[in-house]
Chains A and B, each alone.
Chain A
Amino acid sequence: MTDLKAKIPEGPLAEKWTRFKGNQKLVNPANKRKLDVIVVGSGLAGASAAASLGELGFNVKVFCYQDSTRRAHSIAAQGGINAAKNYPNDGDSVWRLFHDTIKGGDYRSREANVYRLAEVSGNIIDQCVAQGVPFAREYGGLLDNRSFGGAQVSRTFYARGQTGQQLLLGAYSALSRQVNKGSLEVFARTEMLDLVVVDGKARGIITRDLATGEIQRHSAHAVVVASGGYGNVFFLSTNAMGSNASAAWQCFKKGACFANPAYAQIHPTCIPVHGSFQSKLTLMSESLRNDGRIWVPKNKEDAEKIRKGTLKPTDLKEEDRDYYLERRYPAFGNLVPRDVASRAAKERCDAGYGVGTGLAVYLDFADAINRLGRDVIEARYGNLFQMYEKITDENPYETPMMIYPAIHYTMGGIWVDYELQTTVPGLFAIGEANFSDHGANRLGASALMQGLADGYFVLPYTIQNYLADEIKTPRLETSHPAFDEAEKAISERIDQLFSIQGTKSVDSFHKRLGAVMWDFVGMARNKEGLQQAIDQIVQIKKDFWSDVRIPGDKSELNPELEKAGRVADFIELGELMARDALQREESCGGHFREEYQTEEGEALRNDDQYRYVGAWEYKGADQEPVLHKEDLIFEYIQVKQRNYK
């Protein structure tokens, strides 16, 4: 029986992390050299953790499926990174960032973890500046800030619309430095296919060299999974084409509990879907909501005319427009949290007020351009406007952007305790791959913060508390029977995939899964729909394993084989998401159950019965997974109905 021990340190909230660091076990430099750590994934969390562990003296191996560690999808984050620096003197503090994050997450995250996140947030900015990250600056030479959703202060640091890129390149440069020093080895174009557990501890991984197809074995004293989120379960998302959940899913199957899979974030400002051949969705940064105003026509007739192309949005009079976020949420206006903004857009479109294909709303910069001038808007968002124009062939300086919500981020993930360790000793999960800090909804500019907090400032400490007991453990030979067994299972699975020789492509199954997920496990869910989703996913799984077609060979670069393995795992994870959404009979953050809403259509939580983390345990291929509950205790924050009005 798995026991979810969060291991939160004793003491007052603000002293917990300091106390932990003061009392934890450490590994001395001579012993660090004898210990090996595997890091899977090279995004902000993985790269920063790997670099920091290498600096400390551990032997680190980093794995990524991309051709270079610099390409992990953290790179696509646009808007910024939060930190409680209070440089603008507008009332920010560690407490306020902590409070906003807990509230933004709809009171479904752990107080101690979130407080620590807020506490180390300032160090991240210092670290990145020291690395040479070119953050935006004021004319006085000091750092500039802007505002993001769910906050009333300006605490977001940014590097134009490419903050994720610059932070990742900073972490990549730190990682590259360790490669130069010989403390770190990179395995690019290499995918983790299984976790190797020996005597109950994570001791290695099985990988596939994607260029040659070679199956490889790697042993270590600890394994860190930093493989990102699972938004691609939905097929269309803002994730990269290769973003996948397979590493996390293999950990789940080897005993790591998977927490809150139902919590998926739908980002309100993405470029709308335009056709069935579409391969992915593109996000327009939340920072645009600082100056852009969101609206739809007030009258259905006007909306219909716009959809038919007989009326231009710029010709619609001010009084005929419905700035629905400003109307419904006057205190936060266009800067309400993402889940709230997404649902409001869906509500308007479902009611018949949508523009474009009917599934789009306007994000309008006309007011901001009049007020500030085109130059200022161009300096702030130039590259985003250019990106929009390249994709849609419309000029957002002249006509309002069209946007619609899309899957963007997953708050759920591998369950971890305060030390970021999973239910498998020696297996750690960081960044988006874990569930820990964002509750049921993540605030904008907080993903970068969490990834780097985990990688630079949390894991390098907490992992030593585990490794200190492993200093006498010798390196594990990869000829160990546990590796034989894991490799055999992997090879059999690959052979099975090829042996099917069916009639349908991997993508066709992925699209089918995505449609079911979006319709029934998307922005609005209900009991009947979720049960239907589970039935349909079971059928998709059956069809996949009897009718998928994978051309080519296993011992070559074969993207169809790579996708097949990932989609097989997405199908199973999709089912778990539906199960989790079904058991959670309340609405909170990104999880909206139609049966549980207030009269105004806001999410209605049920704190008495559902104030817990739902962590699922794998019980075998033919068994139903088992739900474990970690109660969330709020000692410092008063749990309230979220109010952004």
Chain B
Amino acid sequence: MDFTLKIWRQENAAVKGKFVTYQINDISPDSSFLEMLDQLNESLIDKVQKPVCFDSDCREGICGACGLYINGRPHGPDDAITTCQLHMRKFKSGQTIVIEPWRAKPFPIIKDLVVDRSSFDKIIEAGGYVSVNTGGVPDANSIPIPKANADLAMDAAACIGCGACVAACKNASAMLFVSAKVAHLSLLPQGRVEAKERVRKMVDTMDELGFGNCTNTGACEAECPKEISLTNIARLNREYYAAKLS
């Protein structure tokens, strides 16, 4: 398969970026999207040019490192996958593919397609945990948890922190990300103890970091590679109001 690639190139955060067009041929449909970019980079190195920088690590859709805006969609034209799980068979030979980084103020560009998502870590550091020290905890089976709750908590906990929700949102809101952690922990008895403090701190930190507000467009849910549900945001709102009112 042959493609025309329009890729965002930017030396660093201080300088302006621009689209650069590349032609790449003879790509196998079984190649993954990132393997296609690997091949582009090999050809650039051959020509003594700088390869395109992009983040990726596990390449099996779980670490959350990769994330490209492909033809106007986070993680590209397939549902419920990360960029590394996207395969070229989802494209047509001869197609033009536009590749951009996540675009959101709280995710400044480091270089080319690589952005700084440390703001997500800061939100978790604000309270996205259960305050237990190592050791001195009760036996695991002394806390029975209804299967339905455990399953819902697991659904929310599946978030990989890739940032597609923020990139998809016209407001660059991190509500889906924050709600996934709040919902995961608020659904479990272990997490209820400090639920109020947690939601207050996490939401406040999210606001301080410059993420936008949620206007319920649902773009985040539509593009989430792990299909984190919008109902988590409803749960977050409920937790937040309850915390604010008490």
**Known interface pairs A241-B59, A279-B59, A559-B53. Does A177 touch B129 (Cβ–Cβ under 8 Å)?**
yes
Per-position contact with A for B92-116: 1 when CB-CB < 8 Å, else 0? Answer: 0000000000000000001100101
A169 proximal to B (CB < 8 A): yes
B126 contacts chain A at the CB level, 8 A cutoff: yes
Residue of B at shortest CB range from A456?
B134
In the complex with contacts A71-B57, A241-B57, A141-B147 CB distance below 8 A: yes
Known contacts A71-B57, A71-B65; is-contact A143 B35 (Cβ 8 Å): no
Q: A137-B145, A241-B56, A391-B85 are in contact. Are A160 and B154 (CB under 8 A)?
A: yes
Residues of A within 8 A of B170 (CB): none
Which residues of chain B from 56 to 85 have any CB-CB distance to chain A below 8 Å in the complex? 56-65, 78, 80-81, 85
Cβ of A174 within 8 Å of any chain B Cβ, yes or no, is yes
Is A152 in the interface zone, CB < 8 Å from B?
no
Residues of chain B in range 37-64 having any CB-CB distance to chain A below 8 Å: 38-39, 42, 44-46, 48-51, 53, 55-64
Name the CB-closest residue of A to B143: A129
CB within 8 Å for A560 and B51 given contacts A66-B65, A73-B63, A162-B158: yes
Contact A75 B62 (CB under 8 A): yes
Given contacts A143-B141, A556-B111, contact A162 B62 (CB under 8 A): yes
Q: Which of A506-545 contact B (CB under 8 A)?
A: 507-508
- The stretch that binds B, out of A120-128, A485-493, A599-607, is A120-128
Contact A279 B32, beta carbon cutoff 8 Å: yes
Q: Mark B107-139, 1 if CB is under 8 A from A, else 0.
A: 000110010111011001111111111110111
Residue in B49, B125, B185 with the greatest tally of chain A CB atoms within 10 Å: B125
Interface locus among A270-278, A467-475, A587-595: A270-278
Min Cβ gap B63→A in Å is 4
Q: Is the Cβ of B28 less than 8 Å from the Cβ of A552? A: no
Question: Chain A's nearest CB lies how many Å from the CB of B112?
Answer: 8
List, in ascending order, chain A residues with CB within 8 A of B55's CB: 67
State whether the Cβ of B188 lies closer than 8 Å to any Cβ in chain A.
yes
Q: Does A250 contact B (CB under 8 A)?
A: no
Chain A residue numbers with a CB within 8 Å of B50 are: 551-552
CA distance A321 to B9 in the complex (A): 54
The answer to whether B58 touches A73, judged by C-beta atoms less than 8 angstroms apart, is yes
> How many B residues, CB 8 Å from partner?
79
Tell me whether A68 and B129 are in contact (CB under 8 A): no
Across the interface, name the chain A residue whose C-beta is closest to B150: A137
Closest Cβ of chain B to A186, distance in Å, is 7
Does B31 count as interface, using CB distance less than 8 angstroms? yes
A67-109, CB under 8 A of B: which get 1 and which 0? 1111111011000000001010000000000000000000000
Q: Which residues of B contact A560 (CB under 8 A)?
A: 45, 51
CB-based contact B34/A279 at 8 Å: yes
Q: Are A134 and B154 CB-contacts (below 8 A) given A165-B62, A505-B42? A: yes
- A71 adjacent to B64 (CB under 8 Å): yes
Residue of B nearest to A138 (CB): B147
CA distance A632 to B60 in the complex (A): 38
- A180 interface residue (CB < 8 Å to B): yes
A410 at interface (Cβ–Cβ under 8 A)? no
A393-407 residues at the B interface, CB under 8 angstroms: 393
Find out whether the CB atom of A457 lies under 8 angstroms from the CB atom of B135. Answer: yes
Contact among A136, A176, A393 for B124, CB-based, below 8 A: A176
Within 404-446 of A, Cβ neighbours of B (below 8 Å) are at none
Q: Once bound together, how far apart are the Cα atoms of A506 and B214, in whole Å?
A: 45
Structural contact, B130 and A130, CB atoms closer than 8 A = yes
B150 and A136 contact, CB distance less than 8 A: yes
> With a CB–CB cut-off of 8 A, which chain A residues contact B153?
132, 134
Query: With A68-B120, A507-B42 as given contacts, are A141 and B110 in contact (CB-CB < 8 Å)?
Result: no
CB pair B188–A71 under 8 Å, yes or no, is no
Please state if B85 and A387 are interface contacts (CB–CB under 8 Å).
yes
Task: Report the minimum CB–CB distance from A163 to chain B (whole Å).
Answer: 11
Contact B134–A559 (Cβ < 8 Å): no
Chain A residues with CB under 8 Å of B222's CB are none
Q: Is A131 an interface residue (CB 8 A)?
A: yes
On whether A75 and B58 interact (CB within 8 A), knowing A127-B137, A139-B147, A390-B85, the answer reads yes
| A557 lies within 8 A of chain B by Cβ | yes
Give the Cβ gap from A389 to chain B, nearest Cβ, in Å: 10
Q: Which residues of B contact A508 (CB under 8 A)?
A: 42
A277 touches B130 (CB 8 A): no
Q: In the bound complex, how far is the Cα of B108 from the Cα of A639, in angstroms?
A: 58
Residue of B nearest to A140 (CB): B144
Among B39, B65, B87, B185, which residue has the most Cβ atoms of chain A within 10 A? B65
Which residues of chain B come closer than 8 Å to A393, judged between CB atoms?
Answer: 30, 87, 89
Find out whether the CB atom of B190 lies under 8 angstroms from the CB atom of A129: yes
Across the interface, A67 reaches (CB within 8 A) one of B78, B118, B124, B127, namely: B118
A361 CA / B109 CA spacing, docked (Å): 44
| Residue A173 lies at the interface, judged by CB distance under 8 Å to chain B | yes
Residue contact B63 to A278, C-beta cutoff 8 Å: no
Establish whether residues A242 and B87, one from each chain, have CB atoms under 8 Å apart when the complex forms. Answer: no
Q: Does A215 contact B (CB under 8 A)?
A: no
Question: How many angstroms between the C-alpha atoms of A301 and B56 in the bound complex?
Answer: 42
**Cβ distance A222 to chain B, nearest Cβ, rounded Å:** 18
Contacts of A568 in B (CB 8 A): none
**A132-B51 contact in complex given A71-B64, A279-B59, C-beta closer than 8 Å:** no
A132 adjacent to B63 (CB under 8 Å)? no
User: Which residues does chain A contribute within 8 Å of B38, judged by CB atoms?
Assistant: 277, 279, 507
CB of B157 within 8 Å of the partner chain:
yes
Residues of the A chain whose Cβ atoms lie less than 8 Å from the Cβ of B61 = 387, 390
CB distance from A383 to the nearest CB of B (A): 9
Q: Which residues of A contact B34 (CB under 8 A)?
A: 279
- Write out the residue numbers on chain B whose beta carbons fall within 8 Å of the beta carbon of A552: 50-51
Whether A557 contacts B161 by the Cβ 8 Å rule is no
- Asked if A176 and B45 sit within 8 Å, CB to CB, the answer is no
| A positions within 8 Å CB-CB of B | 48, 51-52, 55, 66-73, 75-76, 85, 87, 123, 125-132, 134-143, 159-160, 162, 164-166, 169, 172-174, 176-177, 179-180, 186, 188, 211, 240-242, 274-275, 277-280, 282-283, 386-387, 390-391, 393, 456-457, 460, 505, 507-508, 549, 551-552, 556-557, 559-560
| 7 new A-B contacts at CB < 8 Å, known A127-B132, A130-B130, A393-B89 | A67-B118, A126-B139, A134-B151, A188-B118, A211-B111, A280-B59, A557-B110
